[in-house]
Amino acid sequence: MRHSLGPLLRRATVGTVALAALWVPGGSPAAAPAAPEASGITFGRRYHALQHGGIVRAANVSITCRATPGAPSCGDVQRGARGVNGDFDMFYVDVDDDANTYNSSRAEVRLPAGSRVTYARLYWGGNLRVGEQKPPEDNGRVLFAEPGGAYKELLADTVVGHRVADGADAFQASADVTRQVQESGPGLYTVAQVNVAAGKSAAGAWGGWTLVVAYENPAEPLRTIALWDGFAPLKSRGAQEMRLRGLRFPAGAGGVAGLVAYNGDRGTTGDSFTLTADQNGSADLSNPANPANDVLNSTISDPEAAPTARVPAYANTLGYDSDVFDLAGRLRRAGDEATFRLRSQRDTAWAGVLFAAVDAQR
């Protein structure tokens, strides 16, 4: 269930949409009931806390390019050159040396020393229809391995967003993994068997996963920590907006805000991620990897100088965005309300997750 947010969350409804089985080696997973689905999920609060600590995430892709006649160099694109998924015959990323999986990738959860995990959730999603059609019955399951551990089947524990629109057969699923991350701590996590289609089409192949982790740490500032999720196409439904009320942040407050979105193309401008906070006005969030007018540009980016580890670590993810933005300098005046707004004017992108950790007034 979603944790109750109370007065901190107000769903936007005018002009925007609220942004709101066992795995058997050598065989197929045992049968499990398919998770319930909905063609659209209004964004709402998944987790909220007021605590000393913060929020981090690990993320990676499940599919990438391969050499395709008439397309740019796949290697150059993986290293960061411009290129979009619709240009390529896309194929699976598979790093685990396990013949029983057809896609797998790894990413690092990095936590400050002395931290205690208070909540963790895994999100995964992609496009089911490209050169092949994947069965939607598998949307709600993946394989999940903690650092140094073996795969365990993970099933979605809430409604799966699944909708055919804008040329794609798109989905996002998620599951609570708090216990697993509390027990295993920081390190490289592996996610396999994300239900994404390979091949080439105008819509393009795309998909990946993000593990969001909230933590408590007495050495860090008191912060309001919030996680929202949902599933909606941005181009056909406009912006996604989430508002935090009763936030009570001091002048000069710091923090981070992050997003997960699907099928944003590098070089297609018109995407923005905007923070509006009381008397501070509005500011488009950006970082060296994400221009202010092209934040949905196929990147997995961090505000830290030393980014978290990924295997593989492609600079152009070809349709998967999991980005974290530093809020330093954005909250010069004290206030008690902040609004985050994700918008795409030209990309046929899908919004999936938004999260924030903001210094709180003592």
Residues 147-204 have pLDDT tens digits of 999 999 999 999 999 999 878 999 999 999 999 999 999 999 999 999 999 999 998 9
**Most confident residue range from 138-152, 163-177, 254-268:** 138-152
Residue ranges covered by each domain of the chain: 7-20+42-359
Q: What's the pTM?
A: 0.89
| pLDDT score of 21 more than 60 | no
pLDDT digits (tens, 9 = 90+) for 76-85: 999 999 999 9
User: 200 is written with which tokens?
Assistant: 């080439």
